[in-house]
Homo-oligomer: A and B are copies of this chain.
């Protein structure tokens, strides 16, 4: 028998240079649309128009809509993490944590607090209904949380952070504050909630500093 048909994956094939660019263009257009309208709220014709491609191109490169959504999740994860570097890889001081969080707050303000977190929004929409999407979202959050935890762990290894601090839990708490803060800010159209949320958690981390 043949391999189990995995939904959302077109048969692996060689990509022409032009093909790669088309594929990329589709993903970017879809990511943008899905950020604003959600995955369900974005239709294939929408993506066609935004990317300037025909339906067959989308189905050629992604198999079906779910395949496109999965590609968008990965793309947003890569893009968001890349945007946060190198800050993200150096979260080993309270100041660095504050600056990193502040950056996101300014970004939020810059777009008038419309839209929340690119990954969080997709997560909220897809976590329950789409098993393969959920799996990718798990790894998206892990890839995000990892560097935070590493930074805190380095502080602890250097003796700056109390031995009693649970760096893994603190990293999770900070990521949760980012997500929850973004959501409240998106609804209230003000970054205040986001700033208060992350500030509280960072203050808490600060309380573990060995003075």
Contacts and interface: CB of A to CB of B under 8 A. Distances in A.
Contacts of A137: 187
B172 A197 contact: yes
Interface string A121-150: 101110111000010011001000000000
Copies in the complex: 2
Interface of A: 36-38, 40-41, 114-116, 120-121, 123-125, 127-129, 134, 137-138, 141, 166, 169-170, 172-173, 175-181, 183-184, 186-189, 192-194, 196-197, 199-201, 203-204, 207
Given A170-B196, A172-B196, A176-B176, 17 more contacts: A38-B40, A41-B129, A120-B124, A123-B186, A134-B189, A137-B187, A169-B196, A169-B199, A172-B184, A172-B197, A173-B181, A173-B196, A173-B197, A173-B199, A176-B184, A176-B194, A203-B204
